[in-house]
Amino acid sequence: MIGCALDSGATAARVAADEVYGHDSKLRRFLEGRQIAYVLAVASDQRLWQSDFMQHRVDAIALSLPAYRWKRLSSGQGSKGERLYDWALMELSKQNGWTRALLVRRSIDEEPECAYYLCYAPSEKNTIETLVRVAGER
């Protein structure tokens, strides 16, 4: 559907989607091939290759992030006011001016819950503030 829209002349600055679409590696490769930025939610058991040449679950990666990597940001206004969460961004790879990253959202509750997003964007636009805004708009 996205390919047909693009082929007919539509443009897209980025794509944001839920876990069903985020899990689809073919969709991610298609968007990267067209150089379309994305913020795609993924499940906690999504596996990523790390620098140790092993696959790790995104929830395990999030648990290993040090405190200084987390930043409290708003993902926009909700029905009950500002939606504040703690967020962390971890760069996964860079190629030809584009960056792949893992964005993690953690609730500020006593027992926090997390959400995970795979991101792809031009390196200069792959800031935590921009990606949080896109995730919040989804």
Model pLDDT, residue 135: 93
pTM above 0.75, yes or no: yes
Q: If you write DSSP's letter for every residue of 110-127 in order, what string do you get?
A: SS--EEEEEEEEEGGG--
Q: Tens of pLDDT along 68-114?
A: 999 999 988 888 888 899 999 999 999 999 999 999 999 998 889 99
**What's the alpha-carbon Rg for the chain, to the nearest Å?**
15
**Of the options 3.30.559.10, 3.50.50.60, 3.40.50.80, 3.90.350.10, the CATH number for the domain spanning 2-137:** 3.90.350.10
| Rounded average pLDDT over 8-20 | 89
Q: Tens of pLDDT along 19-57?
A: 999 999 999 999 999 999 999 999 999 999 877 778 999
For residues 33, 51, 114, 97, the Cα torsion angle rounded to the nearest 10 degrees is -40
